[in-house]
Structure 1
């Protein structure tokens, strides 16, 4: 099996973790330690290869260590924990449906602002309004 085929066969969660770990500039060991795993041997590699599921109570710490969205990581983790029908029924309890376009806007806003949660003050709102006038 080629690396590309292996990459496609992994879950969305595994690919998400592997991609964010690589983008973080940290090794799997460093990510594990930053996420609070004291015996970090291969836990992040196990998550990134679907050999282990991310414990739901560790999602927030792992998201911080990966420098990624806690919401996205939690959603992908839930999806991995439950069968498709159960996840479909649970999803609305935790997540408001956000379209791909809305996610793209949010990502762009975070990138151009340089902030993880940019405040929409009156100046920024006025500048955004001019984009659509």
Structure 2
């Protein structure tokens, strides 16, 4: 009898990593069965399949799954699109409809508009350097690494 794989083709996707991280973070309060029920999945094992990267996130279930995982639905939807489509297709969708922004990203943009007097200023190298300098030390090590580049 063939052994069932423990990881699937989507195992390294950002969506799978986020689901795994959120399930671990919620472990004290919610089981995978709870998450499956809240997200409207009839099979609780589907959460395990998502966590292992065996299945893609069904796009129509993103809002309910995001709520069950207590994450921003726009972020989960953007990552789910990456699972469903080749990179070029996801970029085409973004080019037509615009980037999918999380509530936090919208808050950043609103703050930038406030600071700039709602003027549509280009993002200069000087502004990037100032933002990098301001963010270093505030966020996680990975975010610090990105901020230095």
TM-score for the superposition, normalised by structure 1: 0.62
Structure 1 segments (4+ residues) deviating >4 Å:
none
* Alpha-carbon distance in structure 1 between the residues aligned to 2:46 and 2:98: 27
Deviation at 1:47, TM superposition (A): 0.9
Contact 1:10/1:49 (8 A) holds in 2: no
Please state if 1:31 is matched with 2:39. no
1:18 aligned residue: 20
State how far apart, in whole Å, the 1-side matches of 2:47 and 2:98 are: 25
Aligned partners of 1:74 and 1:26: how far apart in 2? 22
Q: CA deviation at 1:97?
A: 6.8
1:114-125 pair list within 5 angstroms? none
Shift of the 88–21 alpha-carbon distance from structure 1 to 2, 3 Å rule, reads: same
Whether contact under 8 Å (1:47, 1:53) holds in the other structure is yes
Greater helix content: 1
Offset from partner CA, 1:41-70 (integer Å, 9 cap, x none): x11111112100111000000001000000
> What is the alpha-carbon distance in structure 2 between the residues aligned to residue 20 and residue 94 of structure 1?
28
The TM-score, its normalising length taken from structure 2, stands at: 0.56
Q: Identify the residue that residue 61 of structure 1 maps to in structure 2.
A: 64
Q: What is the root-mean-square deviation in Å for CA atoms of aligned residues? A: 2.6
Write out per-residue CA displacement over residues 20-52 of structure 1, whole angstroms, 9 at most, x where no aligned residue.
122223222211111111222x11111112100
Count of aligned positions: 96
TM-aligned CA deviation for residue 96 of structure 1: 3.1
Task: State how far apart, in whole Å, the 1-side matches of 2:66 and 2:100 are.
Answer: 20
